[in-house]
């Protein structure tokens, strides 16, 4: 649970709001019922129920975007309703709502909600003791909203930067191993739901250590960047490339299998041979390919692709080896450099 809260900022805000509602609103609802103010008690209870229901929905479905927007509306509307029911003391409930809206909803909706809530409060002129108090309330509410907006935007920017640092390889610009694990998990879940085929390709630059030792790590880095550029130019936007470690990369190919996958791999092997070079000439790469099996978990899928890559290197490198039964190369495809392993 803690890991999920750390990973999903909006869910943590929703949970904080729900917990605060339970601890903060419940006593007031009980007191108002005890004092005979049934309307205010019902309003408090309704707010509490809706907030808790929204929190439960977010936890169960993972849909924090919709639940966040709904909770922002409920919180602001509830604060206005409480002020109408209990008078001046209800004004204070709006201020925490003005802050949390920018963390629960997108900036445009949050701004609209805050502005509408402030106007709705000011429209209840009988809630305020004087015009000075009313305009003071409006001014402070606007300042709080502006500060919350600035803080929320800065928090979002910093979180995006941290996520990028955590998931993007700084040298090549492609996603790293951490991001790969998440994407492969989503791919297996999607395949289970829809039946879509997914292929996993592990590729390793042949004799890369010799390039580094002979020409230096600067040249080695250039080779890695060039390889990534060529692969991305030769694949679809829906395909995803990850740096697995060192000179090893993983390519996730959705919606391909059979003869189509064989053609893709032959083309990719040709591109690497002809386009990626270093001062000593062209390079080559070894490829291990595994098509996702029904109900297969990520660990097994990766292991089969890695075993196929190992077999490609064992067979002499510069080869494409498929895990399991795949179509044999057509007459136009090279018979050498392609293999199969169970």
Judge whether 298 and 198 are in contact, CB under 8 Å.
Answer: no
What pLDDT is recorded for position 138?
92
Provide φ and ψ at 207, rounded to 5°: 55, 40
User: How far, in Å, CA of 128 to CA of 88, rounded?
Assistant: 6
Task: Look at residue 216 and give its three-state secondary structure.
Answer: coil
Task: Look at residue 296 and give its three-state secondary structure.
Answer: coil
Judge whether 14 and 64 are in contact, CB under 8 Å.
Answer: yes
Task: Look at residue 276 and give its three-state secondary structure.
Answer: coil
Nearest to 16 by CA among 26, 5, 7, 27: 5
Judge whether 122 and 136 are in contact, CB under 8 Å.
Answer: no
Q: In a structure prediction context, what are the per-residue pLDDT tens digits for the chain, which is 342 residues long?
A: 677 777 677 888 888 888 888 888 888 889 989 988 888 889 889 988 998 898 998 898 888 888 999 999 998 998 898 888 888 878 888 898 999 899 898 899 999 999 999 999 999 888 888 889 999 999 999 999 999 999 988 888 887 787 777 789 989 999 999 899 989 999 999 999 999 999 999 999 999 999 999 999 999 999 999 999 999 999 999 999 999 988 999 999 999 888 789 999 999 999 999 999 999 899 999 999 999 999 999 999 999 999 999 999 999 999 999 987 554 443 334 434 566 665
Mind listing the pLDDT tens digit for each residue in 163-175? 777 789 989 999 9
What pLDDT is recorded for position 335?
37
Provide φ and ψ at 199, rounded to 5°: -115, 140
User: How far, in Å, CA of 30 to CA of 19, rounded?
Assistant: 17
Torsion of CA 297, 257, 168, 221, to 10 degrees: 120
240-252 per-residue burial string, b: 16 or more CB within 10 A, e: under 16: bbbbbeebbbbbb
Strands (E) located in 94-224: 198-205
CA angle 318, 259, 266 (to 5 degrees): 25
In this structure, how many other beta carbons lie within 10 angstroms of the beta carbon of residue 37?
A: 15
User: How far, in Å, CA of 65 to CA of 75, rounded?
Assistant: 15
Mind listing the pLDDT tens digit for each residue in 59-82? 988 888 889 999 999 989 988 988
What pLDDT is recorded for position 312?
93
User: How far, in Å, CA of 342 to CA of 335, rounded?
Assistant: 19
Provide φ and ψ at 252, rounded to 5°: -100, 120
Name 34's Cβ contacts closer than 8 Å, sequence gap at least 6: none
By CB atoms closer than 10 A (0-12, 13-18, 19+), residue 43 is: buried
Name the strands in the sheet holding 248-254, side by side, starting at the edge strand that comes first in the sequence.
240-245, 248-254, 198-205, 285-291, 320-323, 338-341
Judge whether 14 and 34 are in contact, CB under 8 Å.
Answer: no
Catalytic sites, residue numbers: 247
Nearest to 126 by CA among 87, 73, 164: 87
What pLDDT is recorded for position 325?
57
């Amino acid at each position: 649970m803690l890991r999920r809260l750390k990973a999903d900022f909006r869910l943590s805000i929703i949970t904080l709001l729900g917990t605060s509602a339970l601890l903060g609103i419940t006593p007031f609802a009980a007191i108002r019922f005890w004092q005979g103010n049934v309307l205010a008690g019902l309003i408090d209870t309704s707010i509490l129920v809706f907030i808790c229901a929204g929190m439960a929905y977010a936890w169960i479905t993972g849909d924090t975007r919709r639940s966040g927007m709904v909770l922002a509306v409920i919180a602001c509307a509830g604060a206005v309703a409480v002020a109408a029911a209990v008078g001046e003391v209800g004004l204070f409930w709006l201020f925490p709502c003005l802050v949390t809206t920018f963390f629960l909803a997108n900036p445009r909706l949050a701004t609209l909600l805050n502005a509408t809530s402030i106007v709705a409060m000011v429209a209840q002129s009988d809630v305020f003791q004087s015009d000075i108090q009313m305009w003071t309330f409006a001014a402070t509410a606007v300042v709080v909203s502006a500060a919350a907006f600035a803080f929320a935007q800065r928090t979002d920017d910093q979180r995006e930067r941290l996520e990028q640092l955590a998931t993007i390889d700084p040298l090549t610009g492609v996603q790293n191993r951490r991001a790969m694990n998440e994407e492969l998990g989503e791919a297996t879940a999607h395949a289970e739901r829809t039946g879509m085929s997914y292929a996993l390709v592990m590729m390793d630059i042949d004799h890369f250590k010799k390039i580094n030792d002979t020409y230096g790590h600067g040249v080695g880095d250039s080779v890695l960047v060039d390889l990534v550029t060529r692969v991305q130019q030769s694949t679809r936007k829906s395909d995803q490339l990850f740096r697995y470690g060192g000179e090893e990369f993983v390519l996730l190919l959705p919606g391909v299998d059979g003869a189509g996958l064989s053609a893709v791999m032959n083309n990719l092997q040709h591109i690497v041979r002809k386009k990626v070079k270093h001062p000593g000439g062209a390079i080559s790469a070894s490829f291990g390919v595994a098509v996702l099996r029904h109900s297969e978990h990520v660990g097994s899928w990766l292991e089969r692709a890695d075993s196929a890559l190992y077999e490609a290197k064992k067979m002499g490198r510069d080869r494409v080896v498929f895990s399991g039964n795949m179509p044999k190369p057509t007459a136009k495809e090279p018979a050498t450099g392609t293999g199969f392993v169970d």
